[in-house]
Structure 1
Amino acid sequence: MTTSGTAARAARGAYLVWGIALFAYAIAVFHRSSLGVAAVDAQERFSAGASVVSLFLVLQLAVYAALQIPVGVALDRFGSRRMILAGALTMAGGQLVLALASDVPTAIAARVLVGAGDAMTFISVLRVVSLWFPGGTVPLITQLTGILGQAGSIAAAYPLVALLHVTSWRTTFLGAAATGALVAVLVLVALRDAPRGTTAPPPVDAAELRRRLADTWRESGTRIGLYTHLVTQFSGTVFALLWGYPFLVVGQGRSPATAAGLLTLLVLVGMGVGPVLGRLCGRWPLRRSVLVFAILAMTVTVWTVVLLWPGRAPLPLLVVLVVVLGTNGPGSMIGFDYARTWNPVERMGSASGVVNVGGFVASLLTVLAVGAVLDLLTPGASTAYSLDAFRAAFSVQYLFWAVGLVGVVRHRRLLRQRLARDGVVLVPLHLAVAARLRGGSAYR
């Protein structure tokens, strides 16, 4: 076979394996979103209030975040195939328990299982991407993974809800459990950790795993990835996941249809922006922090205008807010690209796990802080939150933006000092762009 034929075959194999891994991630997103779209039915089934149902989400996110580093270490030890398989079976088990649950404690246990299985999936898929695609292509494929995986939330929002309304709770979530079993079968049959001929890392003992985790944490490339994920992800996630809809409907007085349309726009913007950021990271890998700062500056600026606007914000301003928040998810993926490029392959899983902690911990804490401030400023158990209460509540974001910015700036400086010691000199940004457009190098 010719060299070009071999390359084409390898490319087809990479996309096939990625397709299986991507499907597993999309189903994980489906499981993650399934209870949220069935919240009203859950309140009726378990005789629970809205606060109890929201506890399901908080615990699920907490489990997801808490398991990222242990899962990352296990990923380096066992590989993507085993971890994605374990995640699929764990989420299927969680949905099975939820289908049969009739009380709140059992339902909570079910969502903990879903959170645990979900935690095993995404960073395992990223490891598949890193090992099957050439380095320059990885940022784009990573962005596409994050974007296309959100098809799972669409499946939760439409087919699952439709099935729930025409059948029953038990039938619907038994069907959801069956999707996990389907993923497990596909992973067993078609997913491989790395291309044929790739040397598998030798097994290591617990002491070596601890040493690798310590090295991963000391690596400034991992730290800048963590703070990048934190500073770019949490605002859009909190808005889309829980507090955006109440803010738009209760605080800003928009109709439910308008609020739903704005949240849909947020997802669509992310789908459009992701590939662009992936291309830019591939072309200018040493300028990724510029993209991070740009996304952060836009996010802080538009939120500041919205929060300081006298009275309710006009619809065009809310559209701008949603468009900017749509860049947050794709922006957070830059954090994983830092982890990939500054860590050796044997630490890739643990590095991705550390990065993934940043945004989800910030999101979880922001969800709780916004709710606490709203409750503090709203009399009794009312949910008729005032616009001023929402302004105060969303102001907690500035604390996390400050923490993330300081972390990115500090570790960016350390990485640039290391590059300077290695003889890599970054030219001014405008000259780098001009050089690239002329087909030359962005560095000297």
Structure 2
Amino acid sequence: MSSSASSTSFRGSLPGDPPGGRRAVAVWSIGVSVYFVAVIFRTSLGVAGLDAVDRFHINASALSTFSILQLLVYAGMQIPVGLLVDRLGTRKVLTLGAVLFTAGQLGFALSPSYGTALAARALLGCGDAMTFISVLRLGSRWFPARRGPLVGQLAGLAGVAGNLVSTMVLAQLLQGIGWTAAFGGSALAGVVVLVLVVLFLKDHPEGHEPEPLPHQGAAYVRRQIAAAWREPGTRLGMWVHFTTQFPAMVFLLLWGLPFLVEAQGLSRGSAGELLTLVVVSNLAIGLVYGQIVQRHHAARTPLAIGTVTATAVAWAATLAYPGDHAPMWLLIVLCTVLGACGPASMIGFDFARPANLPERQGTASGIVNIGGFTASMTTLFAVGVLLDATGGNYRVAFSVIFMLQAVGLSQVLRLRKRAVRRERERLVASRVEAVHVPA
């Protein structure tokens, strides 16, 4: 699609577009705050991995099981959550999600054994799964369509801010007040956002109610999923998300701190600073990517492929560097590049959004979101197994990143032209329809 055509499609207002404005920002911010807290809880294990090994007396494979189970539940819930959001609305789903992830975080704080801690992380993953898709739908109901890319990136940045709280605040609390107090105290944030949702959040502005969906049971579910999956833009979005998100997710969620401390010989303080650099880079690059995609829609694919290439090069240089440790400058480059992974993964939703009707947005977003978390779950498991099998050889363990990138990139290249052609057809059809709408 030409940049001019794409710009027209995103800058023009559509009939029935929500007005946006200050009230939209206020309501949307409540939903974003729920996602912010969910990400704090999701990534809290990333700064507590070594503490968890000591607390539960486990090895690398058992440690990775925490995150794998959490992401397995998260990924498995994406399509059901998308269907729930399309049918029940944002407020009800976010309320349930906040209850579940708060209970999971509190349970993790109080867990006396590895088994109960696993159950708590699964509960946390279930609640976490209900947040991001709900926030995306909330944005589409309160803001004009042309603001979609920027609103989506800003929502993603809220998650990055949550990650920053984990790496900077929770890490310090763990060292200062211990496991139970740090995790238990953080659960209070879940209670706060739950109250905000119940008292103040609304699904949509007055006069912009979606068409009611008749209850049709399994037939409705099959039709929603099939219709979203048939769109090349949905499938392309899923593979973009798959290929771009997981290198940073795996690094921040679990294996970054052990890699930097055990393989690179850094102190926990220095390693924590590099994890913070990933998050800060994510914040900065997310703002840039959001503005670029909003103004030049044709930049979506080059940005995604460029991010994958840069990530692969940075990891290859770090892992292949001669000697026992990579120099600090190279680790800084790696962490800066990893910061682009989150913003690039958001581009996946920018492929799915214009490809699907409003009543399928939640379902389509769920399909896209499965991509990155499936890749992350696979990599977390593979790294843990390879570390145990090789006696802690991180160079071998992290080589799995390149395999998954190759798989995802091949699918992106296969689907990109088909998705753009279909998007152009929908744009032309919408213009024709607008011309024939009576004044």
TM-score range, shorter chain: 0.7 to 0.9
CA contact (8 A) 2:39 2:159 kept: yes
Distance 1:218 1:372, change over 3 A: same
Residues 210 and 399 of structure 1, relative CA distance in 2, 3 Å threshold: same
Q: Which consecutive residues of structure 2, in runs of 5 or more, have no partner in the other structure?
A: 1-16, 429-439
Work out which of the residue numbers 396, 404, 409 in structure 2 matches 1:405: 409
RMSD over aligned CA atoms reads 2.6
Q: Secondary structure at the match of 1:301?
A: helix
Which whole-Å CA distance do the structure 2 matches of 1:169 and 1:397 have between them? 31
For residues 382-401 of structure 1, what are the structure 2 equivalents within 5 Å? 385=392, 389-401=393-405
1:295 and 2:307 aligned:
yes
Give the Cα–Cα distance (whole angstroms) in 1 for the partners of residues 316 and 56 of structure 2: 40
Task: In structure 2, give the amino acid aligned to 1:118.
Answer: D
Tell me whether 1:314 sits opposite 2:327 in the alignment.
Answer: yes
Determine which of 363, 375, 378 is the counterpart of 2:376.
363
Q: Is 2:248 the partner of 1:244?
A: no
Q: Following the alignment from structure 1 to structure 2, what is the Cα–Cα distance between the partners of residues 421 and 31? A: 42
CA-CA distance at 1:188 after TM superposition: 1.5
Question: In structure 1, what residue type is equivalent to 2:234?
Answer: T
Q: In structure 2, what residue type is equivalent to 1:402?
A: A
* TM-score of the pair, normalised by structure 2: 0.85
Alignment of 1:45-124 (within 5 A): 46=56, 51-124=61-134
The structure with higher relative contact order (CA 8 Å, sep 6+) is 2
Confirm or deny that 1:234 pairs with 2:234: no
TM-score if structure 1 supplies the norm length? 0.84
Question: Which amino acid is 1:191 matched to?
Answer: L
User: Structure 1 residue 404: deviation in Å?
Assistant: 1.0
Moved over 4 A (4+): 7-10, 38-51, 157-174, 419-424
Q: Which amino acid aligns with 1:28?
A: A
Determine the C-alpha separation between the residues in 2 that align with 1:174 and 1:318. Answer: 33
Residue type of the alignment partner of 2:238:
L
1:199-230 per-residue CA deviation (whole Å, 9 max, x = no partner) reads 32313312122201111111111011001101
3-state SS in 2 of match to 1:342 = coil
Task: Tell me, yes or no, if the aligned pair for 1:84 and 1:187 is still in contact at 8 Å.
Answer: yes
The higher radius of gyration belongs to 1
Measured after TM superposition, the shift of residue 345 of structure 1 is 0.9
Instruction: Call closer, same or farther: CA 1:49–1:13 in 2, change over 3 Å.
Output: same
Instruction: Write the deviation string for residues 135-193 of structure 1: whole angstroms up to 9, x where unpaired.
Output: 22221121121112333334444555566666675555444443322222211211111
Q: Structure 1's 192 and 61: CA in aligned 2 closer, same or farther, altered over 3 A?
A: same
Deviation at 1:307, TM superposition (A): 3.0
After superposition, the C-alpha distances for 1:412-437 in whole angstroms (9 at most, x for unaligned) are 1212333566797xxxxxxxxxxxxx
1:285 aligns with 2:297: yes
Which residue does the alignment assign to 1:266?
278
Identity %: 46
Q: How many residues align?
A: 409
Matches for 1:119-134 after TM superposition, within 5 Å: 119-134=129-144
Which segment is superposed worse, 287-296 or 26-35? 26-35
Tell me which residue corresponds to 2:198.
Answer: 188
CA 225–190 in structure 1, closer or farther in 2 if over 3 Å, else same: same
Question: Does the 8 A contact of 1:88 with 1:184 survive in 2?
Answer: yes
Query: In 1, Cα distance between the equivalents of 2:54 and 2:266?
Result: 27
Deviates more, 1:32-41 or 1:402-411: 32-41
Q: Secondary structure at the match of 1:149?
A: helix
Partner of 1:433: none
Further displaced range: 267-276 or 131-140: 131-140
User: 2:101 corresponds to which letter in structure 1?
Assistant: M
Q: Deviations over 1:376-432 (max 9, x none)?
A: 222xxxxxx3xxx322222212221111111111211212333566797xxxxxxxx
Given candidates 223, 228, 242, the residue that maps to 1:216 is 228
Do the aligned residues in 1 keep the contact of 2:149 with 2:350 (CA within 8 Å)? yes
Deviations 1:256-287 (A, max 9, x none): 33322222111111110001100111111133
- Deviation sequence 1:304-337 (CA, Å, 0-9, x none): 2333333243322222222111111111011111
2:397 counterpart letter in structure 1: A
Provide the rounded CA distance (Å) in 2 between the counterparts of 1:111 and 1:329.
Answer: 22
* Contact 2:241–2:345, Cα closer than 8 Å, also in 1: yes
Separation in 2, partners of 1:115, 1:42: 18
Encode CA deviations 1:232-277: one digit per residue, 9 max, x unaligned. 1111211222222333333233443332222211111111000110
Q: What letter corresponds to residue 387 of structure 2 in structure 1?
A: L
Once the two structures are overlaid, the 10-residue window that deviates more, 129-138 or 96-105, is: 96-105
Q: Which residue of 2 aligns with 1:382?
A: none
- Report if aligned partners of 2:19, 2:143 keep a CA contact under 8 Å in 1: no
- Indicate the SS of the match to 1:273: helix
| Closer/same/farther in 2, CA of residues 48 and 304 from structure 1, 3 Å limit | closer
Q: 1:95 to 1:419 in 2, by over 3 A?
A: closer
Q: What is the aligned partner in structure 1 of residue 363 from structure 2?
A: 350
Q: How far off its partner does 1:106 sit?
A: 2.2
